[in-house]
Amino acid sequence: MKTIQGPGIFLAQFAGDQAPFNTLAGMAGWAAGLGFTGIQIPTWDGRLFDLERAAESQAYCDEVRGVAAQAGLAVTELSSHLQGQLVASHPAFDTLLDGFAPAQFAGDAKARAAWGAEQVKCAAKASRNLGLKAHATFSGALAWPFFYPWPQRPAGMIDEAFQELGARWTPILNAFDEAGVDVCFELHPGEDLHDGVTFERFLAAVGDHPRANILYDPSHMVLQQLDYLAFLDLYHERVRAFHVKDAEFRPSGRSGVYGGYQEWIDRAGRFRSLGDGQIDFTQIFSKMAQYDYPGWAVLEWECCIKHPEQGAAEGADFIRDHIIRVTDRAFDDFAGGAADAARNRRILGL
């Protein structure tokens, strides 16, 4: 068994225009001061990271690693969530997604999707140059507007959507395979890959590609009322990244899973800072250790109540306290002995 690495922190929700949150060095120092040992870097935030330069320059990637190391940190993964979203998107979201890409692509969904795909391929090269083994992203969504089957969906429409999704992602997965890096899709509402069934559909569409893997975030499973512990029993071999994020689900006579278009503070399902929600992280970390999860435990902070800096400060200790230092021997080794075939046969009456 492997001891999980951590605690790490995803920088995206904390980056800003004021120091120390406007530079990678500033954020690294801030994170280290809170007790984190790793940082997950958003590749779309030019204040922190230059993705295209990282894809081409080993020297730049060495510099990035040096900035982290100077603060006593490692880079856990890169994230291309926003660019991954652009790889496949339904026209209903065109205007909303204009802000995810450079201004010259506004209103041109085809060009924006091509740019997003190239950006994710750049992330494969950048991850290789940084010596990383996993990458965090979104799948995008062609079928999401039709997640509820009313009005009735035409026969074969969802199959067509996943065939197209697979066709768009296969060249990207191949690029990651060349780089020796796993693509870890965060299973997330709003994405075509949002639960185990949709992930299985995608695997079929990409021929069980070995680089198609999962970023496990139990908070999104709580909000769907999915069994997040059983999920690990089923899919642990594909889990290669881990966002540690809490959530709660408290339905009422007025609102449930779908949320009623309410703001986060009023929804039955909402994200919380670590320890403030309902997720059984003791069992999650136990299963991760049992199944030899090879990566990092990374805090992603999203809470509609607590201040982000308090959430981050508490999150480092929370993750550290849940990481299990795995045993290197069986608890009953003291009562055992060396193998003796003859003795074993005698005991068995053979």
Output the pLDDT for position 316: 98
Q: Is the preceding peptide bond at 102 cis, omega within 30 degrees of 0?
A: no
Output the pLDDT for position 214: 99
Which helix (H) or strand (E) segment holds residue 342: the answer is helix 341-347
Hey, which CATH number is domain 5-347, 3.40.30.10, 3.20.20.150, 3.40.50.1100, 2.40.37.10?
A: 3.20.20.150
Output the pLDDT for position 53: 98
Query: Phi and psi at residue 301, in whole multiples of 5°?
Result: -95, 125
Tokens of 289: 């250790």
Output the pLDDT for position 269: 98
Distinct helix (H) and strand (E) counts, the chain: 13, 10
pLDDT digits (tens, 9 = 90+) for 232-291: 999 999 999 999 999 999 999 999 999 999 999 999 999 999 999 999 999 999 999 999
Using the 8-state DSSP alphabet, how is residue 22 labeled?
A: T
Tell me the H-state helices in 23-144.
24-34, 51-56, 58-70, 81-87, 94-97, 109-129
Output the pLDDT for position 334: 66
Say if residues 240 and 182 touch (Cβ distance below 8 Å).
Answer: yes
Distance CA 217, CA 114 (A): 28
Output the pLDDT for position 132: 98
Q: Count of CB atoms within 10 A of residue 135's CB?
A: 29
CA geometry: angle at 171 spanning 166 and 199, to 5°?
A: 30
Cα distances from 125 to residues 80, 153, 172, in angstroms, run 13, 39, 11
Output the pLDDT for position 335: 67
Output the pLDDT for position 336: 72
Distance CA 278, CA 222 (A): 9
pLDDT digits (tens, 9 = 90+) for 298-333: 999 999 999 999 999 999 999 999 999 998 877 776
Tokens of 211: 């680089």
Say if residues 230 and 287 touch (Cβ distance below 8 Å).
Answer: no
| Residues with Cβ within 8 Å of residue 243, at least 6 apart in sequence | 10, 136, 186, 215, 216, 217, 219, 298, 299, 300
Instruction: Name the stretches of the chain with pLDDT < 70.
Output: 333-335
Sign of the dihedral through C-alpha 251, 256, 262, 265: positive
